[in-house]
Amino acid sequence: MPQDEVIWVDGERSASLPLPDRGLSFGDGLFETLLIVNGRSPWLDYHRQRLEAGLAALHFPALGSTFDEAVALALSSLAPQAVAALRITVTRGSGPRGYQAPSPTVPRLVAQLSSLSLDPFTCPAPAKLAVSSLRLASQPLLAGIKHLNRLEQVLATREFRAQNVDEAVMCNQQGQVVSVVAGNLFAVVKGELYTPSLQDCGVSGTRRRALIERWAPRLGLTVHQQALSLEQCLDADELLFCNSLQGLRAVAQLGAKCWGEHPLSQALQQQYLADLQQSVGL
């Protein structure tokens, strides 16, 4: 385990997972990646609510206060000024051999705290994107939730890293745009925002939700959640993506297409940063 990481399993400091565990066996579980700034985790409600939606979709019992206790435990271990990522993984725990879930299920919670070397109040430089050759599979029953079956993202990340870019646009099997590998994508067209609707695949991001519900409305921007083609993205006035650790990031390049100006992305970033400061008490 790297020295800048601390792990808890069910509330106890531990560097090991009891076996068998259905999270390992089948990816039978969910996770959240929280940004920690100034001893607080912004948009924690959105994370908790997405996790709860995932638990319901996978027929897990509700967690009660376990999630909040795990976050509080991690926060209490940190120096106040630290910037960190906290990954909360919830698995269906142990069970007998085979796919059938144990009854009752006793979920297991793994919290992994990693220090980050980024300034959360400085927006990252506009990103270079590729188009992933891997097309996401359509599975409406698992769309939106942040489950542990992430081989597509692992393979797509390997591909775009080899192309020396920062991220990649992922399409579904029909060729419609879904997201980037680790974040949600928005296109700006004639002063309005467009983002894929995520009914068949993709993760419903917490920053995507905040952008739709908070930051875009404050700027008077309409957000359309609908099918989005690669051509529409290439023809857009601006592209931006978001995730919990990078916040909002403008896109400078997608394949051969370049964007030099990002006025609406920057206006949204200002909303993001103002909200971030407020939610971490700065």
Smallest gap from residue 86 Cβ to its own copies (A) = 10
- Between residues 14 and 226, which has the closer beta carbon with respect to its own copies? 14
Site membership for its own copies, residue 185 (CB under 8 A): no
Smallest gap from residue 36 Cβ to its own copies (A) = 13
Please enumerate, as own/partner, the contacts of 203-206 that have beta carbons within 8 Å and a separation of 24 or more: 203/144, 203/145, 203/146, 203/179, 204/50, 204/53, 204/144, 204/145, 205/179, 205/242, 205/243, 205/244, 206/43, 206/46, 206/47, 206/50, 206/244
- Give the CA distances from residue 150 to residues 13, 201, 226, in Å, rounded to whole numbers and listed in that order: 26, 12, 24
- Between residues 91 and 265, which has the closer beta carbon with respect to its own copies? 91
Q: How many residues bind its own copies (CB under 8 A)?
A: 61
Which listed residue (37, 48, 90, 112) binds its own copies by CB under 8 A?
Answer: 112
**Distance between CA atoms of 7 and 16, rounded to whole angstroms?**
9
Site membership for its own copies, residue 117 (CB under 8 A): no
Site membership for its own copies, residue 21 (CB under 8 A): yes
Site membership for its own copies, residue 168 (CB under 8 A): no
Window of 5-13, 71-79, 219-227, 265-273 that interacts with its own copies by CB under 8 A: 5-13
- Between residues 179 and 271, which has the closer beta carbon with respect to its own copies? 179
Estimate to the nearest angstrom the gap between the alpha carbon of 176 and the chain centroid.
20
Smallest gap from residue 222 Cβ to its own copies (A) = 32
DSSP reduced 3-state for 241: strand
Smallest gap from residue 80 Cβ to its own copies (A) = 22
- Between residues 206 and 271, which has the closer beta carbon with respect to its own copies? 206
**Distance between CA atoms of 154 and 274, rounded to whole angstroms?**
33
Site membership for its own copies, residue 151 (CB under 8 A): yes
Tokens representing 120 are: 């959360």
Contact 103, 60 (CB under 8 A): no
Which listed residue (82, 142, 227, 273) binds its own copies by CB under 8 A?
Answer: 142
**Distance between CA atoms of 153 and 159, rounded to whole angstroms?**
10
Compute φ and ψ for 85, nearest 5 degrees.
Answer: -110, 135
**Distance between CA atoms of 246 and 223, rounded to whole angstroms?**
21
Compute φ and ψ for 176, nearest 5 degrees.
Answer: -85, 145
Tokens representing 67 are: 């999630």
Site membership for its own copies, residue 27 (CB under 8 A): yes
Window of 37-45, 68-76, 91-99, 274-282 that interacts with its own copies by CB under 8 A: 91-99
DSSP reduced 3-state for 55: helix
Site membership for its own copies, residue 173 (CB under 8 A): yes
Contact 113, 5 (CB under 8 A): yes
Window of 65-73, 137-145, 186-194, 264-272 that interacts with its own copies by CB under 8 A: 137-145
Site membership for its own copies, residue 149 (CB under 8 A): yes
Q: Which residues bind its own copies (CB under 8 A)?
A: 1-2, 5, 7, 9, 14-28, 31, 58-59, 85, 87, 89, 91-92, 94, 96-101, 110, 112, 114, 134, 137-139, 141-142, 147-158, 161, 173, 181-182, 201
